[in-house]
Amino acid sequence: MKAASHTATSRTPLYATSSMHDIATATVEPTLLAQAWTPQLLQAESGTPTPSGSTLDDSTALRVVIARAAARTLPLLTDASAVPFVCRYRVDLVNPLTTRQVHLLQTLSSRHASLQSVRAKVLRAAAVALDGKGNAENEAWISKVQTSTSKAELDDWYAPYKPPSKGSVLDRIQNDHPDLIPQLDAFWHGDQDSSSIHRILKQHPKDAVLHVLSTKLIANEPSVVETVQNELWKHAKIRTKPPASPSNDPRGRPKVRCIPRLYYPIVPVTGSSRYWQFAGESNKNYCNCRTKWTDPKLKPVCDTPCGADGPATVTPSQPISWTRPCTK
């Protein structure tokens, strides 16, 4: 009698046992998931043997056997690491599923669990549209939503129930508080005294005032943005981008072109044994500075980034690194 009662309950339509609000939060039965995923399991492995060892040729009988095995196996697949254990030690429940089918079943179960919130959102929206109750016509659709493992598919089903966009936050503030933006504009441009900001904060929500100030007024003033960035770095060591200065501003750098890591021979300066200079007739293309050095077996190395190919142009004040030994 208990078995008959259970069978009758499992065959009762979804819309007759509970409302769609309850269906949205209820856990989907493994039997329903197994029936929906059986075609994918059959496609993954054709010619699945029966427990007796023979191969089922009847597609209907094969679907029944695979669905029952999948329903028995689903509660065991807590995560991907459980698949080898289940396939090895729970053959009595898994058979006739193959290892590939069990892996696929676990993948489908993980996808299904990750989409629980999206699935509930679709069913709640449909429940509101259908006045909270289902009927025989949409029972098949409810089953598809409950067993779906595709986010794109769920998004398509949610599209008819998706509420229209409310626009940007600034648009909503302007619609809800039409006097806020003119008041802040007057305060920002000095048409009102400093005490007016307190009146504005009393009349309008603080979040709305801060949003308008930051996105509409402060963002349009480069000098204010720079001041805020400098203060953030000064007091909280928070920096969004390096401040503009002659040292790191590309526009403030001297126009010096140099081939990086380029070696030039040096020779003693005429009439001196302690000063060295670049050798060759192209000295004028590089540098006319002289460096006090005691070892002539060194070559100068310029580490300044190169701006273009061709002869380098270095100002007399450009530092030159004399660090590499001569190979000659």
The answer to whether position 133 is within a domain reads yes
Q: Are residues 155 and 173 in the same domain?
A: no
Name the residue range of residue 213's domain.
169-220
Average per-residue pLDDT for the chain? 67
Taking the alpha carbons of 204, 206, 209, 211 in that order, is the dihedral positive or negative?
Answer: negative
The answer to whether position 188 is within a domain reads yes
The answer to whether position 226 is within a domain reads no
Q: Are residues 72 and 180 in the same domain?
A: no
**pLDDT value, residue 241:** 59
The answer to whether position 256 is within a domain reads no
Q: Are residues 183 and 273 in the same domain?
A: no
**pLDDT value, residue 325:** 38
Distance (Å, whole) CA 275 – CA 283: 15
The answer to whether position 104 is within a domain reads yes
Q: Are residues 34 and 138 in the same domain?
A: yes
Q: Are residues 89 and 155 in the same domain?
A: yes
**pLDDT value, residue 168:** 77
**pLDDT value, residue 240:** 62
Q: Which portions of the chain are predicted below pLDDT 50?
A: 1-17, 50-57, 246, 253-264, 279-328
pTM: 0.47
